[in-house]
Every structure is written in structure tokens, then in C-alpha cells.
Structure 1
């Protein structure tokens, strides 16, 4: 049986401010699940990549959002104690009544409010791309994992939403699309993390939309619309929107307008 969970309180400039990330995802809590098909596919693939002999006494769902994968982890490991942690209070309020975890904790992946050596599995799907300091995330994973513990994550890297980025570039050259770190940065940081790398790969996932409005609506409903520093303020004029639609139409395929996500899958192990 795991000892009681002790929760502690704590006294790349181009990535979004985490306060804006928290606020944006809190606002999206009610709409998120209605448009989260990609997120569910990616997280389900991550579950499948967990070591088959893993039997955690306690797991942590880092960036737990609406709690979909907290509930999936609870179903897979029914004897384990679950902790759902997210930076967005609105997501935690939405998830708590749905269950899945024993604890719902507001916290930052770069400075986890947990004691050392307290979890056996740290699971995080499509959350750490919002962390400017991924080295700190890895350091915290190493700190809170018990020996033989596993950190499994998915994230996004450069090339995500490239069609939308290129279309905006043709219109005005301003920052309208979220920036993500390079896959090579994930390789470098994981290799120097002090954790054993069991697997790290990049896999494209392509969604198709009937029109640009459908894509931008989904991004807003997810809370993942433009959060970048340097993004243009105010409303986007009609002329620029029409120019954007025209530019994006160049990418149209028989299935619709493509939106490519470059998904990073990583599984790391804390050696004894």
C-alpha cells in the first residue's frame, strides 16, 4: 500500500506564459471534450506504449485536463492510487465530480507540489508542450518517481499546424500560431535527463476540416488557440481573414483542409 500522498506548497521566452495557458484551458473546460478526438487518439497510443509489466501503486496524470485519461488510468490500474494534476483550476473543477483519481491537485509541471520518490508512473499526454523549461519537467519527473518508475509523455514539436502557419505567413508574417520546440530538443533533453530512455519518436497526425472556420473553432474550444508572446492584438480584419482563407485553400486535399500535428511520444525509466 502506498504511503499517504504529501502535497507541498512552494513559497524559452518564445513559449506562452503559463498563466495565460491556465486561463485559456480553464475557459475551455466545458467545450474541450467535444473536440478532443486527436487528444484521445494520442493518449490512447501512449497508454499502449506503457511497459506491460508496470504495476504502479500510485500514478500521476500530469496535465490531466478534463480527467479523461485519469479515468482510463484508474480502469487500467484499479488497485493504484491516482493523482490528477493540472495548472488550470477550471479543468480540475470540471474533472473532480467525474472521478478517476483520489486527489485533484493544482500544480505546475516545472515545479511539482509533490514529495520526492512518491509515484511509480507519471503519465502526461499533450500537456508539456506548454512548458517553456522541459529540462525542469524532466528533472521533476526524476525527483518524484520512485526507482523503477516510468515517465510516459506525448507532446507537440515544430511542424505542428504548419499549414496554418504558412498561410498566415503569406498574409502578414505575424505570429498567429503557437510555437513548439524542435524534436531535436526533445532528443537532447531526454538523453541528458538522468532517466533511461526507453523510446522517443515523432509521429505526424493529420486532421481534415471542411473549412478554415471549423479548424479555428476547434482550436478555440480546446483552449489551444494563439497563446504566443508577440501575437497581434485586437480583432482580425475581414480582408486578412479572406486572404488567409485563400492562402489555406492551396493545401486542400480530397478529404478537406489538412491540419498536421507532429506528435512526440516518449517513455523514460528511472533506474534503481
Structure 2
């Protein structure tokens, strides 16, 4: 299901992934300019970060679950695989980069253990992950419309910290940031989630089929929170630097 959602969004992902670009830039600032030999871009999507990662690495391997996302990029070495089943030997990568992807893991603790395995000793992982508290505007619109929403249950920060502690990776830096996309209509705000492939949240057209569907859609749009004439989509994001000792 996750691969299907992101495959549909492949063509328009870059245009709408504004929040993702902000978190990526923070991670790039942390990475700096020191050259590494081999880098893994985990959950690479349409390869937006290949050029930047290529400047700090002799070899960039791009991994994504969606073939459509991978086909959008014409550069680099590509691997179509599940992040929860990494197809790599131990001690391969000097650097792992992952932006707005690992929240889709079915077992985050296991994923972190696997990242430790594929990293070389003294290797580094720079990751961003969406946290609980994200998409609250969407949740509120559904609640105020007396409808049940299927907004993703993202991981809590305390749970993330525990998963890191039980992995063999050492936490060097953790920063939580609030990132917002802004839109001029509530419909655009809701559609923005679909356009980056992250619409595990039920969208109005999906949730409101059948008798009375139009009135439910209108209720959701009417109840979407408005802040001085703009409609926001908020993401709580943890930015991490981890190392393998």
C-alpha cells in the first residue's frame, strides 16, 4: 500500500515537497563537506538529494520501495527494496541519509539495528522522521465534522529515544522542529498530503463516498482550521545524527 501511494505521487513529488526540502537542508548542514566513500540514500523518492549527496560521496546508492519514484531519477545506483529488509552486507556504508522516510517503517527499532549493521565502524546516519503531533489540522477538521479520520499514528519522541537506546547506534544530535506548509484554501491543504504520497490519511473524496458525501466534504473543508486567511499543514519532525562506534 505504501509503495502504491508514493508511486502515484512520483510525478509531482518535487513540486510539493517543500517541508521535506527544509528538513533535508538542516541535515545537509550537519553533514558538511567532508568526502565519504559510500552513501545510502534511504527512502530516496525521486532522487531529489542525489546531487548534494554526490558532492560528499564517491558512490551514492539510492533505495526506495517505489519503482516509479526510482525511475524519476536518471542518476546514481538504484535499489528497489523495502527499508525493513535491507539487501546489503554488513559494514558497507560510511554515511546513511534518510529524509521524511523512516516513519513508514513497520518496525523502527529493527530498522535502526539494521542501519547499524550496514554502516561501517565510525559510520554516520543523518535522519529525519515525522513525529506524533503532525497533521493536527487534518485531525481537527474531521473531529469537528463528527467524522473518524485515519490520520497516521506517528511515533512519539520518547519512543524514538528508547528505540535508539536499544540499538547499537549512538545518538550524537537530536533536534525537534515544527515545519509548516501553507495554502490559500483548505482543499489545497488536504490535497498537499496526497501529492507527496503520504495520504494514509483519509482524504474527503475517499472518506465521504455514498449518500451525503458532498455535505461531509463541505463540512471537513469548513472545519479546517484557518489562521489569518491561510490553511496550514503542520509536521513535527525529529532530526537525528547517529554514529556507529
- For the pair 1:145 / 2:145, whether they are aligned, the reply is no
Structure 1: stretches of 5+ with no match in the other structure: 1-19
TM-score of the superposition, structure 2-length normalised? 0.92
**How much has 1:42 moved relative to structure 2?**
1.1
Specify which structure has the higher proportion of strand. Answer: 2
What TM-score does the superposition give when structure 1 sets the normalisation length?
0.83
CA contact (8 A) 1:152 1:266 kept: yes
Whole-angstrom distance in 2 between the partners of 1:149 and 1:141: 10
**What is the aligned partner in structure 2 of residue 226 from structure 1?**
200
Looking at structure 2, the residues matched to 121 and 21 of structure 1 have their Cα atoms a distance apart, in angstroms, of 25
After superposition, the Cα gap between the structure-2 partners of 1:227 and 1:22, relative to the gap in structure 1 and judged at 3 Å, is farther
| Aligned partner (choices 160, 169, 179) of residue 205 of structure 1 | 179
Contact 2:175 2:239 in 1 (8 A): yes
2:50 is matched with which residue? 70
* 8 A contact 1:21–1:227 mirrored in 2: no
RMSD: 1.7
Matches within 5 A, 1:125-140: 125-140=99-114
Which region of structure 1 is more displaced relative to structure 2, 176-185 or 55-64?
176-185
1:54 Cα offset (Å): 4.4
Q: Which runs of 5+ in 2 are unaligned?
A: none
- From the superposition, tell whether residues 255 and 57 of structure 1 become closer, same or farther in structure 2 (CA, over 3 Å): farther
Judged with a 3 Å threshold, the aligned counterparts in structure 2 of structure 1 residues 45 and 172 are, in CA distance, closer, same or farther, namely same
Whether the 8 Å CA contact 1:120–1:146 is kept in 2: the answer is yes
What's the offset of the Cα at 1:111?
1.4
Q: Determine if the alignment matches structure 1 residue 162 to structure 2 residue 136.
A: yes
Does the C-alpha gap of structure 1 residues 206 and 227 become closer, same or farther in structure 2, counting only changes over 3 Å?
closer
Give a deviation string over 1:2-52, Cα, whole Å, max 9, x none: xxxxxxxxxxxxxxxxxx1111111111111111111111111111122x4
The aligned residue for residue 80 of structure 1 is 58
Cα deviation for residue 234 of structure 1 reads 6.4
In structure 2, the CA distance between the partners of 1:68 and 1:53, relative to structure 1 (3 Å rule), is: closer
Aligned residue runs from structure 1 range 1-272, under 5 A: 20-50=1-31, 52=32, 54-74=34-54, 76-77=55-56, 80-95=58-73, 97=74, 99=75, 101=76, 103-226=77-200, 235=209, 237-248=213-224, 251-254=225-228, 256-271=230-245
The alignment partner of 2:4 has SS state of helix
